[in-house]
């Protein structure tokens, strides 16, 4: 039976702009008496949100500021490169000229990244201003050498204008944080940075300790003890250092993997002592345990469960089976199993 188009059922509000949107839904479709749930496309009319003019203007202003920065960089590289080309070959001169323009552009990017922390943003701002002054001075010097000082001053003004324009855009888009929130954010970043630094330095120190133990000349007494255990029944310093290095560089490694690494290092060790030492290390995460999932229920089992619960409505049974096993189970199959199991219950009663 054909269904009414969803777009015709909607009540469109006057004065609101709509646009059609294609969606999908499952509908029953029968061929040769066999019904399946198939996917059908249909259209609905969704309201179009009004244009955000504030965002549009902000995007346009940002694009203009980026264009000015690009023009300033190109002008600076051309002017400074031409000036330096008087002393060196042109490719090297223009590569060196890029340093003047890209220096203050890089400082502006760092200032933007630190926009939530005024103290951190101050340093790249000052560095960017000094880099801009150097860029403008060299551009003006190029104009003076070419006996066109006014051209050099105009080119220097382009860089200053681009820098000021971009700084104004950043100041407009910046969202200063309250003092307490800014302090909380700094403390949180400090804690995370300390953990990262500590982990990196710990792995580095463990690697150095392992290398030092491997390449330090051994004394006869040490050679006598370097068989996997020392006189106290513990691991030798060389093997212990190597095990710690493996644990630091390969978190979550298994005991067998550690023994494999020791074999690759050609170290003599006592396997029992190594495993006892690994058991004493609490920093290693436990390997993930495999969870045994129960075997999935069959459609027949689900039908029997429904009958045991007292369900005698075939439509409810079909709906429940489709929720549990998916809509790919034909209705006729569910009804056949339902009648068969219901007949068995009647006979057993």
**308-323 tens-digit pLDDT:** 777 778 888 888 888 8
Nearest to 234 by CA among 262, 198, 273: 273
- Residue 74's pLDDT is 92
Q: Which residue has the higher pLDDT, 59 or 266?
A: 59
- Residue spans of the domains in the chain: they are 6-47, 59-173, 205-279, 299-348
For residues 280-294, average pLDDT: 51
Mean pLDDT estimate for the chain = 78
Which residue is it, tokens 């298994």? 254
CA distances from 283 to 142, 204, 241, 244, 313 (A): 63, 17, 15, 11, 58
Residue 225 structure tokens: 């003890």
Residue 25, φ and ψ in degrees, nearest 5: -150, 160
The two three-digit tokens of residue 110, written as one number: 């760092």
Average pLDDT value for residue range 210-233: 51
User: What is the phi/psi pair of residue 7, to 5°?
Assistant: -65, -30
**Most confident of the following: 144-148, 207-211, 266-270, 298-302:** 144-148
Question: What's CA 174's distance to the chain center, in Å?
Answer: 24
Quote the CA–CA distance of 18 and 16 in Å, as a whole number.
Answer: 6
Residues 6 or more apart whose CB falls under 8 angstroms from that of 37 comprise 26, 27, 28, 29, 327, 328
Which of the four pLDDT bands, split at 50, 70 and 90, describes residue 228? very low
């Amino acid at each position: 039976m054909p269904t009414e188009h969803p777009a015709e059922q909607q009540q469109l509000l006057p004065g609101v702009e709509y646009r059609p949107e294609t969606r999908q839904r499952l509908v029953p479709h029968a061929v040769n008496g066999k019904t399946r749930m198939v996917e059908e496309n249909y259209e609905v009319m969704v309201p179009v949100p009004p244009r955000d003019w504030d965002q549009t203007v902000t995007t346009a202003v940002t694009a203009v500021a980026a264009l000015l920065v690009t023009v300033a960089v190109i002008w600076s590289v051309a002017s400074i490169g031409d000036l330096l080309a008087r002393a060196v070959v042109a490719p090297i001169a223009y590569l060196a000229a890029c340093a003047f323009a890209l220096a203050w552009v890089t400082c502006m990017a760092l200032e933007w990244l630190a926009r939530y922390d005024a103290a951190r943003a101050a340093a790249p701002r000052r560095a960017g201003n000094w880099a801009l002054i150097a860029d403008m001075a060299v551009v003006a010097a190029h104009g003076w050498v070419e006996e066109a000082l006014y051209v050099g001053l105009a080119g220097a003004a382009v860089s200053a204008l681009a820098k000021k324009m971009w700084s104004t855009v950043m100041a407009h888009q910046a969202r200063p944080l309250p003092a307490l929130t800014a302090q909380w954010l700094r403390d949180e970043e400090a804690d995370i940075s300390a953990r990262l630094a500590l982990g990196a330095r710990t792995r580095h120190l463990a690697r150095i300790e392992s290398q030092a133990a491997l390449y330090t000349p051994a004394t006869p007494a040490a050679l006598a003890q370097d068989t996997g255990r020392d006189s106290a029944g513990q691991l030798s310093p060389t093997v212990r250092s190597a095990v710690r290095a493996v644990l630091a560089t390969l978190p979550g490694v298994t005991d067998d993997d550690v023994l494999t690494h020791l074999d690759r290092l050609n170290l003599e060790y006592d396997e029992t002592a190594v495993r006892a030492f690994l058991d004493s290390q609490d920093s290693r995460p436990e390997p993930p345990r495999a969870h045994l999932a129960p075997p999935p229920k069959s459609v027949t089992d689900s039908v029997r469960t429904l009958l045991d619960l007292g369900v005698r409505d075939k439509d409810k049974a079909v709906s429940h089976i489709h929720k549990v096993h998916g809509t790919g189970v034909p209705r006729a199959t569910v009804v056949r199993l339902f009648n068969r199991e219901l007949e068995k219950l009647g006979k057993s009663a």
